[in-house]
Amino acid sequence: MLLADDDYYKLLGVKRDASAAEIKKAYRKLARELHPDRNPGDKKAEDRLKIINAAYDVLADPQKKATYDQFGTSDFQGVRGDDIGAMFDQLFRQFGFQTGRRSQRAQGGAPQGESLRVSISLTFEEAFFGIDKEVALRRKIRCSTCSGTGAAPGTSPIRCSSCNGRGQVTREMGGFMRLSQTCPTCRGAGERIDSPCSKCRGAGTETTRMELKVPIPAGIENGVVQRIRGAGNAGPRGGPPGDLIVVFQVEPHDVFIRKGLHSFMDMEIPFSVATLGGEVEVPTMWGTSKLRIKKGTVGGSILRMKGKGVHADDGRKGDHLIQVEIHVPKKVSKAQERLLKKLEQEKI
Ligand SMILES: [Zn+2]
Ligand SMILES: [Zn+2]
């Protein structure tokens, strides 16, 4: 497997600023050398070829390459839209929403309800670990008094005689020309209400306020939009409901950023630790952890702490990635200065 601290460019034996053609050429050469036909039974060559293939896979794809150049990894996978979709569908059905209904206008029937938009704001921590979030929603539902017909109990809407209940009338325009238009008498409803329901005044809907407890899975990303079919406003006079559009907004964090299931940070390490190797304490979303620094670590290296990213509900785990900066002291004491001067004379 490729690791974040593997340098893909180094693996292919090219410079960081190598052109696409140079990368391809280097890859082809290595692929030929490591080909199983040339190295029968050589497990090491086989493994190396796999790594080379994976590295080339990233560097040959401009988008993956750009992400790798920026973050030192390209395997970003967050919580998938369809995961949340299925979960939401279930949740809203549980609350009595009729989700999944096709948004269509029934023939000669009442128009569809409006779509609703609700924004769920999460802190970085809430999005990282997942949380149950209370969401208040004002939503039109079918009027409970008239069951959405708009007609007073005991009465029914009367079929519109102008359009025969179709909601549309056809006008002859002379010759073979015919023009369909919305019925002007019933405005497309196909029916007329003589004694409107007193509760909804003939609208067929009433407004309710509901509090939903929405379980937010770990790993939601900022800007994710989820459309839940049929969970919007009920349509007037029994028309089909609109959709509910949920937008997630995640606050940024002071130290960490997130992409997919991974978290990232920049960290300064002392020049001496970078040179000699050692251990540093690294803050992660799971608390402080120790990280080994290899001898001769250069600035810009990206180190990976496996499993310290988001733990998704489906068992996938992201990593915590640290881009190392080497701390160069701006002020040094007399004693330190003497030591550094000595070091300089040693010409390391
Ligand atoms: Zn009513
Ligand atoms: Zn009509």
CB atoms within 10 A of CB 279: 10
Same domain as 237, residue 112: yes
CA 261 to chain centre: 10
Residue 260: name the closest of 6, 16, 4 by CA. Answer: 4
Query: Residue 319 sits in which domain range?
Result: 253-348
Same domain as 348, residue 202: no
Q: How far apart are CA 317 and CA 328, in angstroms?
A: 34
Same domain as 216, residue 102: yes
CA of 154 from ligand 1 middle (Å) equals: 12
Q: Which ligand is nearest to the CA of 153?
A: 1
Q: Which ligand is nearest to the CA of 191?
A: 2
CA of 183 from ligand 1 middle (Å) equals: 23
Say if 169 falls within a structural domain: no
User: Tens digit of pLDDT for each residue in 245-294?
Assistant: 889 999 999 999 998 899 999 999 998 899 999 999 999 999 999 999 99
| Residue pLDDT tens, the chain, 348 long | 445 456 889 889 999 889 999 999 999 999 999 998 998 888 999 989 998 998 999 899 988 888 888 777 777 777 766 667 777 777 777 766 665 554 444 444 678 899 999 999 999 999 999 999 988 889 999 999 998 889 999 998 899 999 998 888 888 777 777 888 888 888 888 888 889 999 999 999 999 998 888 888 899 988 888 888 888 899 988 888 888 888 999 999 999 999 889 999 999 999 889 999 999 999 999 999 999 999 999 888 899 999 999 999 888 999 999 999 998 888 889 998 898 888 888 766
Say if 238 falls within a structural domain: yes
Q: Which ligand is nearest to the CA of 150?
A: 1
Where does a domain end: 31, 56, 75?
75
Q: Give the environment of ion ligand 1: residues with CB less than 5 A.
A: 143, 145-146, 197, 199-200
Same domain as 133, residue 245: yes
CA of 171 from ligand 2 middle (Å) equals: 14
Same domain as 271, residue 137: no
Helix (H, G, I), strand (E, B) or coil at 283: strand
CA of 113 from ligand 2 middle (Å) equals: 20
Q: Copy the structure tokens of residue 241.
A: 């409901």
Mean pLDDT score across all residues of the chain = 86
Same domain as 232, residue 114: yes
User: Tens digit of pLDDT for each residue in 111-151?
Assistant: 889 999 999 999 999 999 999 998 888 999 999 999 888 99
Q: Is the Cβ–Cβ distance between 192 and 202 less than 8 Å?
A: no
Same domain as 243, residue 117: yes
At residue 321, what are phi and psi to the nearest 5 degrees? -115, 135
Same domain as 215, residue 131: yes
Same domain as 197, residue 55: no
Same domain as 270, residue 242: no
List Cα–Cα distances, 311 to 39, 201, 251, 255, in angstroms.
40, 51, 19, 19
H helices of the chain, in order, are 8-12, 20-33, 43-59, 62-71, 81-94, 124-129, 271-276, 334-345
CA of 206 from ligand 1 middle (Å) equals: 7
User: In DSSP terms, which residues pair with 139 in a beta bridge?
Assistant: 208
CA of 251 from ligand 1 middle (Å) equals: 42
The CATH number covering residue 126 comes to 2.60.260.20
Say if 182 falls within a structural domain: no
List Cα–Cα distances, 98 to 20, 114, 142, 228, 232, in angstroms.
52, 15, 12, 10, 10
Q: Is the Cβ–Cβ distance between 216 and 122 less than 8 Å?
A: yes
Structural domain count, the chain: 3
